[in-house]
Structure 1
Amino acid sequence: MRILIIGGNGTIGRTVTSRLEEKHEVIIAGRTSGDVTVDIADLESVRRMFDSVGKLDAVVCIAGEAKWDHFDKLSEEDFYVGIKSKLMGQVNLVKVGKEFINPGGSITLTTGILADDPVEMTTSAAMVNGAIHSFVKAVVLELDNVRVNAVSAGVVEDAYEKYKDYFPGHNPVSMNKVVNGYIKSVEGKINGQVIRVIE
């Protein structure tokens, strides 16, 4: 398969890329580095990326940001960071990307545990993650030849030390289990699913 991984140089992205490269041709997209650059918050940038890479069998997005802060401190503009990047960025990857996916191919989005098990200061991030879950379930009802799924993981072991104070009592998830969630979406046949990798 010919696979585009957006965010392929990140903590999770590097390991997903390494695993998929064992069997497939992988193209990495990133904001500042990779085989092609893209800002998923910019629709025209998304279009240029797809135009430059051409036909694909799968797209995996492990990118997107949202503002973390206490609810009382979040401005309307702060919420729009997550809405424009993580939410609409991934929605637009499906909207534009479906035209570049070969029949039977897939698009895999990324959310996270905050949709189901939020912690303090994650109102915005939890909101967009939950919205993506609903989007995935709905959009597949209107797509005939492209599968769409989302991977929703807990805090990965590789990043646990950095984030453990934000996630008291949460069990870190092995990177191997998280990567398997992406493999399941790309190489399997499931469609319209949220693949939860929690423990």
Structure 2
Amino acid sequence: MKLIIIGANGTVGSAISNELGSRHDIIRVGKTSGDIQLDISNSAQIHELFARTGKVDGVVVAAGSVHFAALAEMEEEHFHIGLNSKLMGQVNVAQIAQPYLHDGGSITLTSGVVGEMPIRSGASAAMVNAALEGFVRGAAIELPRGLRINVVSPGLLEESVAALASLFRGFEPVSSQRVALAYARSVEGAESGKLYTVR
């Protein structure tokens, strides 16, 4: 299969690329690196991406930013970081990708553990992750031509513990390799509208 992985050089994206790259033709997309550069908050750039790649069999998004801060310190513009990037960036990829997917192709998005298990300073992340999961359930019943859409919700990554431990006390870390298997299940499986949690 020919697959696009957006966020391919991040911790999760690298693990996905390693998992799927041995079996499939991977186009690695990143904000500042990879085969093609893309800011997912810019829908014009998403259109340009698919115009360059042409038809593909699957699209995986492991990218998007959110702002972490105490709720009392959050201003409207801080919420818009997550809404414009992680939420609408992924929604726009899912919408724009459809004509470029072969029949039966897949779209895999990324939410995260904070949507299910809130943490201090994580209200924006919780909002965005829950919205992404709702979007996937709703979109799955309307996609044409046998197209599929799923979302993966990774837990705290082992590779991120050093940087994020103070926010995630008591969380059991998971390996990026384990997380990558959930993306493989979405891309290579047959399900749609599913939330794959990796805890």
TM interval, shorter chain, is: over 0.9
C-alpha offsets along residues 80-128 of structure 1, whole Å, 9 cap, x if unaligned? 1100000000000011001111010100000100000010001011100
Equivalents in 1 of 2:194, 2:3: separation in Å?
Answer: 19
Q: What root-mean-square deviation, in Å, do the aligned CA atoms of Structure 1 and Structure 2 show?
A: 0.8
2:64 matched residue in structure 1: 64
Question: Which residue matches 1:180?
Answer: 181
The equivalent of 1:37 in structure 2 is 37
User: Are the aligned partners of 2:5 and 2:60 in contact in 1 as well (CA < 8 Å)?
Assistant: yes
Give 5+ residue unaligned stretches, structure 1.
none
Partner of 1:74: 74
**Structure 2 unaligned residues grouped into runs of 5+:** none
1:111 maps to: 111
**1:31-180 matches, cutoff 5 A:** 31-144=31-144, 145-180=146-181
TM-score in terms of structure 1 length: 0.98
Q: Is the 8 A contact 2:19 2:181 kept in 1?
A: no
Greater CA deviation, 94-103 or 155-164?
155-164
- In 2: Cα distance, 1:162 partner to 1:190 partner: 34
Report the counterpart of residue 6 of structure 1 in structure 2.
Answer: 6
- In structure 2, what is the Cα distance between the partners aligned to 1:176 and 1:92? 27
- TM-score normalized with structure 2 length: 0.98
* Residue correspondences, number: 198
- Percent sequence identity over matched residues? 39
Secondary structure, counterpart of 2:166 in structure 1 = helix
Instruction: Look up the match of 2:21.
Output: 21
User: Counterpart of 1:105 in 2: which secondary structure?
Assistant: strand
